[in-house]
Structure 1
Amino acid sequence: MTRWLHSVTATVLCSMLMIGLAQAQPDAFYKGKTLRIIVGSPPGAGNDMRTRLFARHAPKHLPGKPEIVVENMGSAGGQIARNYLFNVAKPDGLTIAQIIRGTELQEAVGAPEVKYKAERFHWLGNLTSDAAICMVRIDRGGSTLRETVQRSLDNQLRNAESSSSSPGAVVALLLKEFIGLNLKVVTGYAGGSAIDLAIERGEADMRCGLVWSSARARHANWIKELGSKKPFTAVIVQIAEKRVADLPDVSTLIELAPDTSWRAVAEAITLTYENAYPMLAPPGMPDGLVKLLRKAFWDTVHDPQYTSEAKKTGFLDDEPLPGEKVQSTVKRILNIPDEAKTRLRKILGLA
C-alpha cells in the first residue's frame, strides 16, 4: 500500500511539475529539447508528406524552438503506432503522432488489434478535412461505376489495403454490399505508396479511401477526372457528405446506401474523413502541455509560409481543424448506433 501511494504521489508531482514548466516558463519549455512526431505510415505516403511539411514550420511556433524529428512507424494501417502512443510513449510533451484516420472506427467495431481508448488520446488538431475516393484501373474496371460493376461480374477486382479493418477496406466491402461490386480485399501493404505500386504493377486493381487532396497532389497524371491525357485510373465513388466540385458526376458512398440503416453506416465512415490527418498526443498529458501543443498546431497550419509550401506541394485546399473539434468528432464516431456497429462488424468478419 505504501509503495502504491509513493507511486501515485510521484506521478502527481511529476504532472504538476510539467504543468508548472509549461505555464510558468513558456519561453523555455522546449529549449534544447527534441520533439518526436511518429507517423503511422511509411515514408512517401500522403500523411507522411504532410507531417514533414508541418515539422519544417512548427519549431518557431513552439516555446524554445525545439528540433523536430519525424519517425515512421508504418505498419498494420497505423495500428502499431496507435498502440505505441497509448501504451508506451510518455506524456511529457516530447512525443506526439500523426496517424491516418480510423483510430476511433477501429475501436468502435471492436477490432482485436486495438489496444487503446481513442477518447483518452489528446487530439491536437487535424491537418485537413477532406473527401476521399475509390479509384480503379480503367483497363480492369472501366471509366464509370456502372461499367466497373458490370465488368466485375466476370473478373473479380482486387482492392489493395494495409489492413482488413482500415477505413478503405470498410468502404470497399460496403460497395460490395450496397451495389454488388465483385471484389476481394487484399491486405498487407505497408501504406499508400505500396498500394499505389501494387496497382501500377497489376497486383491489385483498385483502392478505396484515398484522400482526394493527396490524389490530386500525387496522381494527377493517373486520374481521368483530373484531365490526364493518358488516364490510368478512374474515380468511381467518393466518400464525402456532398459531392466535391471536381467530381460532380461521381456518386457518394452515402448516396449508394440501400436503406436508412446502411446510410447510418456510410455516414459514420464518411465522418472518419473529417479527421483525415489528425495529430494526437499520449493520454495523461498535463492540461498545460495540451493547450500549448494545440496552440502551436493551430499557429503552424495558419502560418503563411506553411500554407504557401502546402500549395506548392499540391495540397491546394487544406481545411485544418482545431483539437477541440477533432476530439468532438472522435466521440461522435465512437457513439454511432449499435445497429451500425453490428453491421460493420459483420461485413468485417468480426461478428
Structure 2
Amino acid sequence: MKYFRLSALALIGAIGALGIVSADAAPNFKGKKVSIIVGSGAGGGYDTYSRTLARHWGQHVPGNPKFLVKNRPGAGSVVATNFIYNVAKQDGTVVGGVQRNIPFLPIFGQKGPQYDPVKINWLGSLNSEVGVFAVFNQHTKIRTLQDAMVKEVIFGGSGPNDTEIFPALANNTLGTKIRIITGYPGSTNTELAMRRGEVQGYTSSFSSLTARNPKWKTEFTFLAQNALKPHPTELKNVPLITDLVSNPEHKLIWKLMLTQKVMGRPYMLGPKVPKDVVKMMRASFEAVARDKGFMADAKKQKRDVVFVSGSEIQGMIAEVAATPKSIIAKMDNYTRYKGVKQKVKIGLARHTGKVTKTKRGGRRIYLMHKGKEVKAKVSGSRTLVMVNDKKAKRKAIKVGMTCTFVYPGAGQEAKQVLCKK
C-alpha cells in the first residue's frame, strides 16, 4: 500500500521537465463527460464513495471534465463489469466502481462474469479494509484465538459472507471452536444480540465496529486481524490471522480470501483503454484520493480513505489468477461451516411518528418515536413505500408526515414505510 504525496499536476510537471513526454502528447478530456458506473444500488457504500469522488475528481484530470455517477446494479457488480469490459467506450470516459469480489469471481469459477480480471485496467482503491475477530467481553472469557481452540465461542452471522466464511475458515484451518448462529440482518443486530447475551462475538470490519461502538476499547477484545497488512494506527497487539496459520496450504487459502480486503473500494477502466490514458487516469485518481477537499467530504460521509494504487491491485490479481487450480478447487470445502448452524428469528419493529427530516432523496428517513429520533434506510427496490394507502416512491415522503417504519431496528433498512399526509 502506498501513501502518495505528489499531486497529479506536480507529477506531470516533473515528467515534462525530464523531457519524457510533452504537454501536447498528454491526453486531455476538455469538453468530455466521464461516467462512473457503480455496480451497486443507490445509497450504499460503493455509491457513496463514487458520488463523493465525482465531486472532486474532475479538477485533477487534464481538461477538467465533468464526472457523472450512474448506477448499474446486478449480480454483485457483474452486470456493470461485463458492460464496462465488453460494451462501454474504451477511451477512459467510462470508469467502474465495482464490488471488491469482482476480480475473483471468474478466477474461482463462478458463472456470469464475461471478463478477464487480469486484463482490466485497475485505477486503484479508496479503502483497504481491516477485519477483526471480535468478542464482547461481558459474556465470554475468551481473550485470544488460542482460547477459542480450547473452548467454544458463539458468533453471530448474517449469511454466506465474511461473518460466516471467516469463522468457518478458522475452524477448518486452525481448529477453533466457533459456533455460528445465523439469521441476523446485519452487524447492528448482531451487536444487539451480543449485548443481550445471545451470541458472544462476530467478525466485522474494524472501522464499522468502532464507528458504532464508542466504548469499543473496553467492551470488545480483538482475537485477530482479518487482513494481509495490520491496521496502520490501532490493534498493535492483535495478531494477523495469517501469522497464526502454519500450514502452507492453509496460509495460501487465507491469503486468497483476504486479498480482496486490500482493495476495499476498487475502480477500473476497460481492457482496451490506451496506455497513456490509463497512466493519466491513475495519476489523477491518486491525486484526488489524497485531495484535502475530497478527504474532508469523505469524512462527512463517515467514509475512511486509505489509498491503494492501481499497480498494486493489478499485481495482486495476477498473483491470485496464477494460483493452482487444485488449490482453488479446495476453497469451498475450507470455507464451509461444518457444524449445526442455528438460525435466529428476528422480529420486525414498528416505530411510528412524524417525519423530522429526509436525506439523499429519501434514502434516509428520520422520525420522532416516543421522544427519540430514529432513522431508517429506504431502498428503491426492496422497501415498500405507501402514502395514504397507495404505493409511492421514497421521494414522496415529506417532513411532517406521520409514518411507520417496519424494520429490524433503528438504523436498519425498512421492509415497509407506511405514511399518511
**Stretches of structure 1 lacking an aligned partner (at least 5 in a row):** 1-21
TM-score of the aligned structures, taking structure 2 as reference length: 0.60
Q: What's the CA shift string for 1:30-66, capped at 9, x where partnerless?
A: 41x3322123344444443332222111011123323
Q: Which moved more, 1:137-146 or 1:259-268?
A: 137-146
SS at match of 1:297: helix
User: How many residues of Structure 1 are paired with residues of Structure 2 in the alignment?
Assistant: 305
Q: Give the superposition deviation at 1:151.
A: 5.2
Percent identical: 22
Query: Is 2:165 aligned against 1:174?
Result: no
Aligned pairs (5 A) from 1:96-135: 96-135=95-134
* Counterpart among 294, 297, 311 of residue 285 in structure 2: 297
Q: Is the 8 A contact 2:27 2:276 kept in 1?
A: no
Query: CA 1:237–1:82 in structure 2 vs 1: closer, same or farther (change >3 Å)?
Result: farther
Q: Give the superposition deviation at 1:136.
A: 6.2
* Counterpart among 215, 220, 240 of residue 227 in structure 2: 240
Q: What's the CA shift string for 1:227-269, capped at 9, x where partnerless?
A: 6xxx5x7655421235434224544321343622101211232
Q: Is the 8 A contact 1:107 1:334 kept in 2?
A: no
Query: CA 1:140–1:53 in structure 2 vs 1: closer, same or farther (change >3 Å)?
Result: farther
TM-score of the aligned structures, taking structure 1 as reference length: 0.70
Query: CA 1:346–1:224 in structure 2 vs 1: closer, same or farther (change >3 Å)?
Result: same
Q: What's the counterpart of residue 324 of structure 1?
A: 311
Query: CA 1:140–1:329 in structure 2 vs 1: closer, same or farther (change >3 Å)?
Result: same
Q: What's the counterpart of residue 57 of structure 1?
A: 56
Q: What's the counterpart of residue 186 of structure 2?
A: 195
Q: Which amino acid aligns with 2:71?
A: N
Q: What's the CA shift string for 1:276-295, capped at 9, x where partnerless?
A: 22111122222232222112
Q: Give the superposition deviation at 1:129.
A: 3.1
Q: Give me the CA root mean square deviation.
A: 3.7
Aligned pairs (5 A) from 1:279-318: 279-311=267-299, 313-314=301-302, 318=305
SS at match of 1:160: coil
The structure where helix makes up a greater share of residues is 1
Q: What's the CA shift string for 1:139-176, capped at 9, x where partnerless?
A: 88887566878455xx6x44225xx4x56654243123
Distance, in Å, in 2 between the alignment partners of 1:145 and 1:45 is: 33
Q: Which amino acid aligns with 1:50?
A: Y
Q: What's the CA shift string for 1:75-103, capped at 9, x where partnerless?
A: 54433433333344332323211223222
Query: CA 1:82–1:26 in structure 2 vs 1: closer, same or farther (change >3 Å)?
Result: closer
Query: CA 1:78–1:209 in structure 2 vs 1: closer, same or farther (change >3 Å)?
Result: farther
Q: Is the 8 A contact 1:214 1:315 kept in 2?
A: no
Distance, in Å, in 2 between the alignment partners of 1:158 and 1:132 is: 15
Distance, in Å, in 2 between the alignment partners of 1:140 and 1:273 is: 29
Distance, in Å, in 1 between the alignment partners of 2:30 and 2:186 is: 38
Query: CA 1:314–1:261 in structure 2 vs 1: closer, same or farther (change >3 Å)?
Result: same
SS at match of 2:273: coil
Distance, in Å, in 2 between the alignment partners of 1:292 and 1:96 is: 13
Aligned pairs (5 A) from 1:146-225: 150=151, 152=153, 157-161=155-159, 164=160, 170-177=165-172, 178=174, 179-183=176-180, 195-196=186-187, 199=190, 208=203, 210=205, 212-216=206-210, 218-221=211-214, 224-225=216-217
Distance, in Å, in 1 between the alignment partners of 2:259 and 2:132 is: 14
Q: Is the 8 A contact 2:132 2:223 kept in 1?
A: yes
Query: CA 1:51–1:174 in structure 2 vs 1: closer, same or farther (change >3 Å)?
Result: same
Q: Is the 8 A contact 1:262 1:340 kept in 2?
A: no
Distance, in Å, in 1 between the alignment partners of 2:57 and 2:79 is: 25
Q: What's the counterpart of residue 85 of structure 1?
A: 84
Query: CA 1:220–1:346 in structure 2 vs 1: closer, same or farther (change >3 Å)?
Result: same
Q: Which structure has the greater CA radius of gyration?
A: 2
Q: Which moved more, 1:280-289 or 1:82-91?
A: 82-91
Q: Give the superposition deviation at 1:306.
A: 2.1
Query: CA 1:25–1:239 in structure 2 vs 1: closer, same or farther (change >3 Å)?
Result: closer
Q: Give the superposition deviation at 1:270.
A: 2.7
Query: CA 1:49–1:132 in structure 2 vs 1: closer, same or farther (change >3 Å)?
Result: farther
Q: Which amino acid aligns with 1:182?
A: R
Q: What's the counterpart of residue 253 of structure 1?
A: 241
